[in-house]
Structure 1
Amino acid sequence: MTEPAFPRVRPRRLRSTPALRRATAEARLHPAQLTLPLFVGEGLTAPKPISSMPGVVQHSLDSLRAEIARAAEAGIGGVMLFGIPEHKDAEGSGATDPDGILNIATRLAVVEAGDALVVQTDLCLDEFTDHGHCGVLDADGRVDNDASLERYRDMAVAQAEAGSQMLGLSAMMDGQVAAARDALDVAGRSDVALLAYTAKYASAFYGPFREAVQSSLQGDRRTYQLDPANRREGLRETLLDVEEGADIVMVKPAMSYLDVLADTAAASPVPVWAYQVSGEYAMIEAAAANGWIDRERAILESLVGLRRAGAEGLLTYWAIEVAGWLRGRPSASGVLPVGAY
Structure 2
Amino acid sequence: MKKSSITLLVLSIFLLQCTTTTQNERISTDAYLDFSNRDDQFEGGIKMIPITTPKGKFKVWTKRVGNNPKMKVLLLHGGPGMTHELYSCFDGYFPAEGIEFIYYDQLGSYYSDQPEDQELWTIDRFVDEVDQVRAALGLNQDNFYLFGQSWGGMLAMEYALKHQDKLKGLIISNMMASLDEYEKYAKEVLGPQMPKEVFQEILRIEEEEDFDNPNYEALLMEHHYQYHVLRMPLDEWPEAVIRSLTHVNPNIYVYMQGHSEFGITAGATLKGWDRRADLKNISVPTLVIGAGHDTMDPKHMEWMATEVQDGKYLFCPDGSHLAQYDDQKVFFEGLIKFIKDVDSRGK
TM-score if structure 2 supplies the norm length?
0.38
Looking at both structures, which has the greater relative contact order when contacts are Cα pairs under 8 Å and sequence separation is at least 6? 1
Q: If each structure's helix is expressed as a fraction of its own residues, which one has the higher value?
A: 2
TM-score if structure 1 supplies the norm length?
0.39
Greater Rg over alpha carbons, structure: 2
